[in-house]
Structure 1
Amino acid sequence: MSYPVVSVGIGSYNNARYLVTLLESVRAQTYPAIELVVVDDCSTDNSVEVVENWARQTGYPVTFIQHEKNQGVVRTFSECTQLATGQYVSLVGSDDVLDPDLIARTVAEFDHRGLKCGAVYADCRLIDAAGHEMAPSFLRYFNPAHADSPPEGNLIVPLLRGLYLPTLTTTVRREALEAVGAHDETLFSEDLDMWLRISRCFHFAYLPAVLGSYRVHDRSAIHTNKLALNESYFRIYRKGYFEGPQEWAAARHSLADHAEHYYASEGPEAPARLWFAFKETRLPKMALFWLMARLGIKYTALRRATGR
């Protein structure tokens, strides 16, 4: 029996302590046709040694690339995608874990949904640095509004309204990647931009299962790169590729949220970001935040004054 190849691309950076757990979870997949690609983004810990030792000891085939200079997460995952040859592509952070039947069930879902389906996503649990469960559902943890009935089809509005897709359990059809073009390497985080572009041309399907573990620790992007994540959305918004009043309303709503979060995180360009958000949304609170930022008043002080 012939099985379509699924390429699993791992972007590795300074997560040596978690790598073997992830690599073993790839090796434990019940699906028989997996291509493993690992790109290390010039880690300063012993990540390279960990990958090389694991490959040598297990004999598991892996395409392993090492960057001589740090290039960032988007370029690293972009290279994983370029190296991948499979019919389906899954990009995974080097601190996450895959459940054994994730890929088998995902491919079966693609077969069931047909060629218009460009991506399949499932839920996952949250775990801490030690591997202990923090929350049983990624979708419910990050936005309960979408947890009971995860959206399918065109996800542009849900994504702009706060739907977070767990990357480790989201697999994309190669034709969809080729149709929308390469990752935007000017962004700090590539996920949202890519999901929006795929949604314009293909459907997303939800696989109702918990099929992996998203690890949260002190080096996670949600803790260490809040400003860069907000900056990525400003860049996405300025592309202006939204269509119709519903998409633009959702995009402006998200713009206001990101501007507020940028101000709250004491971003150095908060006045400019808030003024841009006010001009786009005409929301009074954006004007208030802009004025406070211009006066050097921190967001925390404003919250205390208003009792928020």
Structure 2
Amino acid sequence: MSYPVVSIGIGSYNNAAYLETLLDSVQAQTYPAIELIVVDDCSTDHSALLVQRWMERTNYPVTFLQHERNQGLVRTFSDCTRLATGSFVSLVGSDDVLDPELIARTVAEFNRRGPSCGAVYADCRLIDSQGKEIAPSFLCYFNSGAAKSPPEGNIILPLLRGFYLPTLTTTVRREALAAVGPHDETLFSEDLDMWLRISRKFQFAYLPAVLGSYRVHDRSAVHTNKLALNETYFRIYRKGYFEGDAEWKAARHNLAEHAEHYYASQGPEAPARLWFALHETRRPKVALFWLMARLGVKYSTLRRLMSR
């Protein structure tokens, strides 16, 4: 029996403490046709050496690329995609863990849905730095009500309304990647931009199962790069590829939220970001935030005053 190849790309950067656990979870996949790609983004810990030793110890085939200088997450995953030859592509952070049945069940779901399905995603649990479970469901933890009925088909509106897709359990059809073009390497984080572009042309499918572990620790991007993640949405918004009143309404609401978060995080360009958001949304609250930012009033101080 012939199985379509699934390319698993690992973007590695300074996660030596967790990387071997992930590599072992790839090797433990029950699906028989996996192409493993690891791109190390010039780690300063022993991540690269760990990968090389793991390859020697297990004899598991790996396409291994090391960047000579740090180039960022999006370029790292872009290289993973460029090196991938499989019919499906899965991109995984180097601190996460895959359940053994993830790829097998995902491919089965692609086969069930047919060629119009461009991406399949499943749920995952949250774990801490020691591997202890924090929450049983990523979708419930990050998406509250949406987790009761995870979106399928065209998911542009849910994404613009703040729906978070677990990247480690999301696999994309190669034809979908080819249709929407390469990763935008000007962005800090590629996830949302890619999901929006794919959803314009292909259907998303939800696989109702918990099939991985998303690790949260003090070096997670959600903790260390809040301002860069915020900038990503501003850049996506400026692309202006939304369609119809509902999409633009959701996009503008999201823009106002990101402008507020940027101000709350004491971003150095808060007045400019808030002014842009005000021009786009015409919201009184954004006008207030812009004025206070111009006057040098901290967000925390303003919130205290507003709560009295």
Please indicate, yes or no, whether the TM-score normalized by the shorter chain is above 0.5: yes
Q: Secondary structure at the match of 2:119?
A: strand
Q: Counterparts of 1:11 and 1:179 in 2: how far apart (Å)?
A: 23
* Aligned equivalent of 1:18: 18
1:145: Cα distance to partner? 2.1
Measure the CA separation in 1 of the matches of 2:275 and 2:29: 49
Quote the residue 1:53 is aligned against. Answer: 53
Q: Distance in 2 between matches of 1:145 and 1:190?
A: 25
Identity of aligned residues (%): 80
Aligned equivalent of 2:212: 212
Residue type of the partner of 2:149? S
Q: What residue number does 1:81 align with?
A: 81
2:148 matched to which residue of 1?
148
1:284 Cα offset (Å): 0.3
The answer for the alignment partner of 1:242 in structure 2 is 242
CA distance in 2, matches of 1:146, 1:84: 32
CA distance in 2: counterparts of 1:210 and 1:144, whole angstroms: 16
Distance 1:275 1:155 in 2: 29
1:300 matched to which residue of 2? 300
For residues 191-234 of structure 1, give each alpha carbon's deviation from its aligned partner in whole angstroms, at most 9, with x where no partner exists: 00000000000000000000000000000000000000000000
Q: Which amino acid aligns with 1:106?
A: T
- Name the residue aligned to 1:111: 111
**1:61-105 superposed Cα distances (whole Å, 9 cap, x missing partner):** 000000000000000000000000000000000000000000000
Q: Distance in 2 between matches of 1:240 and 1:193?
A: 12
Other-structure match for 1:28: 28
Matched, 1:175 2:175: yes
Q: Give the CA deviation at 1:307.
A: 1.4
Following the alignment from structure 1 to structure 2, what is the Cα–Cα distance between the partners of residues 149 and 210? 15
- Match of residue 289 from structure 1: 289
Q: Distance in 2 between matches of 1:302 and 1:134?
A: 32
Helix, strand or coil for the counterpart of 1:143?
A: helix
* Equivalent AA in structure 2 for residue 148 of structure 1: K
Query: Residue 278 of structure 1 corresponds to which residue in structure 2?
Result: 278
Cα distance, 1:143 vs structure 2: 1.4
TM-score, length of structure 1 as denominator length:
0.99
- In the alignment, what sits opposite 1:131? 131
Report the secondary structure of 1:131's partner residue: coil
d(CA) in 1 for partners of 2:156 and 2:274? 24
What secondary structure, in the 3-state scheme, does the structure 1 residue paired with 2:148 have? coil
Counterpart amino acid of residue 120 in structure 2: V
RMSD over aligned Cα, in angstroms? Answer: 0.6
| TM-score for the superposition, normalised by structure 2 | 0.99
Work out whether 1:227 is the aligned partner of 2:203.
no
Shift of 1:114: 0.4
Listed one character per residue, the Cα deviations across residues 263-294 of structure 1 (whole Å, up to 9, x for unaligned) are 00000000000011011011100000000000
CA distance in structure 2 between the partners assigned to 1:255 and 1:145 by the alignment:
21
Runs (5+) with no aligned partner, structure 2: none
Code of the aligned partner of 1:233: Y
CA distance in 2, matches of 1:14, 1:158: 33
Question: Which moves more between the two structures, 137-146 or 186-195?
Answer: 137-146
Separation of aligned partners in 1, 2:142 and 2:301:
26
Deviation of the 1:306 alpha carbon: 1.1
